[in-house]
Chains A and B, each alone.
Chain A
Amino acid sequence: MNPQMVMYEEEFNQIQAVVERLVKEANAKVVFIVDKNGQLIAAAGDTENLDTTSLASLTAGNIAATGGMARLLRENEFATQYHEGEKANIHIQLVGNRVILVVIFDSRSSLGLVRLRVRRASDELNAIFEALLTKVQSPDRNDVLTEITDADIDNLFND
């Protein structure tokens, strides 16, 4: 089982900085990061008219299905996927077997450029998520969950 995913402001800002730089350096339309369970972690670029929640869930489903195929072929993972459309293309990269980095781009960029930039961003993201994981697992972290009472949970349904 994966440990619980937690996001704090400090790490989020680091991740967001990587994602925003990747949009610029790769000439991408949109870049986003999803955890393997389909939760959106960060997004940058032209996300206004994009249903990022749905995209996040489908991306995770896609990675899960590809991972299933990999196991059947006795491969560890297929870490990279590329889908080419008429106008938009999607590059999907598994980072540290933990999160998924998605780059959506059009003819203003190229697969070669995206791959190159994704490689560097992946290394940076991997380091950030490693540090985040250590922080989450430390026993003295401040945790909102410990403050929740049974009454809080009941109140959620008093409608």
Chain B
Amino acid sequence: MSFINYLSREINCKLVYYGPGLCGKTTNLQFIYNKTAPEAKGKMISLATEQERTLFFDFLPISLGEIRGFRTRFHLYTVPGQVFYDASRKLILKGVDGVIFVADSQIERMEANIESMENLRTNLAEQGYSLDKVPFVIQYNKRDLPSAAPIEELRQALNANNVPEYEAVAYKGDGVFDTLKAITKLVLTELKRGSGG
């Protein structure tokens, strides 16, 4: 849930990167961290296992410029993708303003994508949100891999609502900022709409 601070003139929002294990959520954040100017970012925190798998969440605060004299700040979180960390995923969705679903394009991960998408819908509903209403974009990651499924097939399986979607190769940065821009735009538009503006 966004936090409007009239004193420091800031609009703070929370974004969550969701998706199956090893789809590239943390890689998205790492690329954003590396490409963001030092004055526009805070420290990136990764609560990970010794094998560098996300255990609880990654966290990266960034700021994106001003609107009407208010600085826009976004707190980026990832969830742990592995199925058995479901309890943690639910916690991280609390107070979310926008969700990015990172799909793993590899055909052998199609089932995992679908399962994770259903899990997202269920867990959002538990927090009182509907996936059909919350600002939401999809990123099809790992487009450079030979086993990547055709976009049309991924779209049919994952994007029934026709939300904004982006192809990506996250470790190279392809599509990473396009995805981020799209979700921040949706979030700000929703904030404006929600306030009757």
Chain A contacts to B: CB under 8 angstroms: 1-9, 12, 35-39, 51, 53-54, 57-58, 61, 64-65, 67-68, 143-148, 150, 152-157
Flag if B185 contacts A157 (CB, 8 Å).
yes
Which residue of the partner chain B has the closest CB to A69? B87
Flag if A146 contacts B6 (CB, 8 Å).
no
Flag if B65 contacts A156 (CB, 8 Å).
yes
Flag if B1 contacts A37 (CB, 8 Å).
yes
CB distance from B53 to the nearest CB of A (A): 17
Known: A37-B14, A145-B191, A146-B197. A7 touches B4 (CB 8 A): yes
Interface 9-mer from B67-75, B106-114, B154-162: B67-75
Residue among A35, A148, A150 making CB contact with B68, cutoff 8 Å:
A148
Which residue of the partner chain A has the closest CB to B128? A1
Flag if A153 contacts B1 (CB, 8 Å).
no
| C-alpha gap A35/B191 in the complex (Å) | 19
Residue among A1, A57, A143 making CB contact with B75, cutoff 8 Å:
A57
8 more CB-based (< 8 A) A-B contacts, given A64-B91, A68-B91: A5-B1, A7-B3, A8-B7, A37-B3, A57-B75, A144-B70, A145-B197, A154-B185
Closest 9 CB pairs of A and B: A37-B95, A146-B197, A145-B195, A64-B91, A5-B3, A39-B3, A1-B128, A7-B5, A6-B4
Which residue of the partner chain A has the closest CB to B2? A4
Flag if A148 contacts B196 (CB, 8 Å).
no
B19 interfacial contact with A, CB 8 Å: no
| C-alpha gap A65/B43 in the complex (Å) | 22
| C-alpha gap A155/B188 in the complex (Å) | 12
| C-alpha gap A143/B72 in the complex (Å) | 15
Among A35, A61, A65, residue most surrounded by chain B Cβ atoms (within 10 Å): A61
Inside 8 A of A154's CB, which chain B residues have their CB? 185
| C-alpha gap A81/B127 in the complex (Å) | 24
Residue among A4, A7, A39, A153 making CB contact with B6, cutoff 8 Å:
A7
B172 interfacial contact with A, CB 8 Å: no
Flag if B72 contacts A156 (CB, 8 Å).
yes
Inside 8 A of B1's CB, which chain A residues have their CB? 1-5, 37
Interface 9-mer from B21-29, B55-63, B115-123, B163-171: B55-63
| C-alpha gap A37/B96 in the complex (Å) | 8
| C-alpha gap A54/B42 in the complex (Å) | 8
Known: A144-B4, A147-B197. A153 touches B57 (CB 8 A): no
Which residue of the partner chain B has the closest CB to A148? B192
Inside 8 A of B14's CB, which chain A residues have their CB? 37-38
Flag if B90 contacts A68 (CB, 8 Å).
yes
| C-alpha gap A27/B92 in the complex (Å) | 33
| C-alpha gap A118/B45 in the complex (Å) | 29
Inside 8 A of B90's CB, which chain A residues have their CB? 68
Flag if A12 contacts B3 (CB, 8 Å).
no
Known: A1-B127, A7-B3, A150-B189. A157 touches B91 (CB 8 A): no
Which residue of the partner chain B has the closest CB to A5? B3
CB distance from A28 to the nearest CB of B (A): 23
Residues 136-161 (chain B) with a chain A CB within 8 angstroms: none
B35 interfacial contact with A, CB 8 Å: no
| B179-191 near A? 1/0 per residue, CB < 8 Å | 0010011001101
B105 interfacial contact with A, CB 8 Å: no
Inside 8 A of B43's CB, which chain A residues have their CB? 51, 53-54
